[in-house]
Amino acid sequence: LKRTDANSKELADQARHGGFFYLVGGDPGLVAQVLRGSRVWRAIFEAWLGGAALAGSSAGAMALCSHTLIRAGWPDRTNRRPTDALGVVPDTAVLPHYDTFGHRWVESAQRELPDVTLLGIDERSAAFWSDGQWRAAGPGAVTVIHGPKTSPFASGMEITGLATPARMLPTQSGPTGN
């Protein structure tokens, strides 16, 4: 998907009628950069508000938050810097693959985003919003980190400390694709 695709009226019309949207992994900066402020993202968001399912894994999950964490410099894979994401989960940044390598991003993420909640999601695990609350699912844990406080949640547990999902798109800077 390129930025021109994300601003396609035809693709936005198709997305507006979708029932399930899944943002896959890959480049955490690219996912948000391509979709943010686009016609297709507005259509996906409106469909989600209307009841469609919206999910993301790895970089896709990162893109759904207010911030996504991208590599700050080569070759250090642990040093991350934030960039604006899609904003479905306000004041939050996901640390994917938390049990294998995402936990190594905590220090740089807290340095760059001291007031933002970090959401560590283990592999094959999820945080999902249903019936007005966040819940954990899967064989691993979901960990909420805010400042010095770290709270792990096992599958089936209600997750506390996360913002309620946005009900309107955040104000975007830059071109909107109108």
pLDDT of residue 173: 44
Query: For the segment 75-90, what is each residue's pLDDT rounded down to a tens digit?
Result: 888 899 999 999 999 9
Taking the C-alpha atoms of residue 78 and residue 15, their distance in angstroms, rounded to an integer, is 35
Grouping H, G, I as helix, E, B as strand and the rest as coil, residue 124 is coil
Kindly report, residue by residue over 72-131, the tens digit of the pLDDT: 988 888 899 999 999 999 999 999 999 999 999 999 999 999 999 999 999 999 999 999
85 three-class SS? coil
CB 51 within 8 A of CB 75: no
| Neighbouring-strand partners of residue 23 | 56
Q: Is the peptide bond before 75 cis (omega within 30 degrees of 0)?
A: yes
Strand partners of residue 82:
69
With both helix axes pointing from N to C terminus, report the angle between 28-35 and 39-49 in degrees, rounded to the nearest 10: 90
* Residue 171 in this model has a pLDDT that exceeds 70: no
Dist CA 131 CA 109 (whole Å): 30
Tell me how far apart the alpha carbons of residues 11 and 8 are, in angstroms, rounded to a whole number.
Answer: 5
Region 3-159: CATH code:
3.40.50.880
Instruction: Please write the tens of the pLDDT for every residue from 10-52.
Output: 999 999 999 999 999 999 999 999 999 999 999 999 999 999 9
Torsion of the alpha carbons at 74, 75, 81 and 85, rounded to the nearest 10: 80
